[in-house]
Amino acid sequence: MPRPGIDKYKDIYQPEDIPSSKPPPEPSRNKFFRAGALVLLAVLLIGIPVYYFSERGIGGFQEDEDSIQVEKGKEIIAVQQLVKEGKLVRALDVIQPQYKLYPDNAEYVSTGAWVHFKMENYRRALKLSEAAIRLDPGRARDHAILGATHLFFKQYKPALETSLQAIQLDPDQSLAYLTIGEIYLKENDAERALPALKQAGRLDPDNARVWTRLSSAFIKLEQWGKAQLCAERALELSPDAPGVHFNLAMIYYKREQGPQAVEHMQRAEDLYQKAGQFEWAGKARQNKELIIRQFKLRPEDIIP
């Protein structure tokens, strides 16, 4: 499947957007967060090389409807290929026996954490990434996964700490930058979120979550053109992500395009409901009703 051209999005993350080495004075905050921001800024200003890594599958396994036969010693290669193909359950079937049989094998435990994270099994991913770091503290991906899972459980301080550690070990860890950006968004500090989110976008331009969070940051800054551009890119990559539709609805609302706002807010509500995120489904429903009243829309005005 060809990747949509992203040239029109390049202005979102130009190098000159990175803050200068002498940022303006900022309000006093938690000491740890200030220190974390300085480390992140220093890393960004060094100039991190962008590269794209494509991995070719190696025929180390055979698959049928009921089982996967993996050649001994090629389990990791098989798991990588299965994850690349989106076959996460089968990837877990391969790696889970290995990290259970060999709990002191850092490679197996680390790969198990990665697969569980991809499957959004965050509690298990947290435990396995912690175990992998104990076995080998030099693995950047494990620190990045641990940081992202801490964020999921709203443990913001350890999320920031482990994400910064991941960047120190490997400055190309896009997940760590995404986590840091999300932490600052949670802190309602879009200005400080942007450098991290932009770096995540440079390193992983096909990650819909990155573009959704960039859109959220630009919404907070009331930069509606960039917010819409980012949301549209996220929609190309993940048409059924509810947060993308929610953001687009807010952008259309601010641009006084009521029917389009209602269309996307309804879509967000349906997707949140389907995902069991009932609190957000309720927020989408309330916003939809507000938009309908605000623009005095009739049923025939609303885009089906």
CATH classification of the domain holding 250: 1.25.40.10
Instruction: Give CA–CA dist 270/258, Å, rounded.
Output: 18
pLDDT computed for residue 45 by the predictor:
34
The answer to the question of residue 254 being in a domain is yes
Tell me: do 262 and 230 sit in the same domain. yes
pLDDT band (50, 70, 90) for residue 21 = very low
pLDDT band (50, 70, 90) for residue 70 = confident
- The three-state secondary structure class of 13 is helix
The answer to the question of residue 128 being in a domain is no
The parent domain of residue 252 ranges over 206-304
Tell me: do 178 and 149 sit in the same domain. yes
Instruction: Calculate mean pLDDT across residues 262-272.
Output: 96
The answer to the question of residue 40 being in a domain is no
The whole-model pTM stands at: 0.78
Domain boundary among 205, 226, 246: 205
The answer to the question of residue 217 being in a domain is yes
**Buried/exposed 56-94: b ≥16 CB within 10 Å, e otherwise:** eeeebbebeeeebebeeeebbbbbbbbbeeebbebbbbb
pLDDT computed for residue 27 by the predictor:
34
Least confident of 67-81, 188-202, 241-255: 67-81
The answer to the question of residue 186 being in a domain is yes
Instruction: Calculate mean pLDDT across residues 260-268.
Output: 96
Look at 70 and 168; give whichever has higher pLDDT. 168
The answer to the question of residue 64 being in a domain is no
Question: What is the number of structural domains in the chain?
Answer: 3
Instruction: Calculate mean pLDDT across residues 222-250.
Output: 97
Does the structure show a pLDDT above 50 at 57? Answer: no
Q: Could you give the percent of the chain with pLDDT greater than 70?
A: 77
Tell me: do 241 and 269 sit in the same domain. yes
Q: Which residue has the tokens 């503290």?
A: 137
CB count within 10 Å of CB 197 equals 30
Tell me: do 250 and 295 sit in the same domain. yes
Does the structure show a pLDDT above 60 at 18? Answer: no
Q: Which residue has the tokens 């549209």?
A: 232
Does the structure show a pLDDT above 60 at 29? Answer: no
Instruction: Calculate mean pLDDT across residues 22-35.
Output: 38
pLDDT computed for residue 302 by the predictor:
74
Tell me: do 160 and 223 sit in the same domain. no
Give the contacts of 233 (CB within 8 A, at least 6 positions apart).
6, 9, 211
Does the structure show a pLDDT above 60 at 301? Answer: yes
Give the chain's end-to-end CA distance (angstroms, integer). Answer: 28
Amino acid letter at 85? E
Tell me: do 219 and 292 sit in the same domain. yes
C-beta contacts of 133-138 below 8 A and 24+ residues apart: 135/104, 135/105, 135/106, 135/109, 136/106, 136/110, 138/169
pLDDT computed for residue 61 by the predictor:
42
pLDDT computed for residue 72 by the predictor:
82
Q: What is the pLDDT of residues 84-96, one digit of tens each?
A: 999 999 999 999 9
Look at 87 and 301; give whichever has higher pLDDT. 87
Domain boundary among 122, 148, 181: 122
pLDDT computed for residue 53 by the predictor:
25
The answer to the question of residue 259 being in a domain is yes
Q: Which of 216, 210, 182 is nearest to 198 (CA)?
A: 210
The answer to the question of residue 130 being in a domain is no
DSSP 64: -
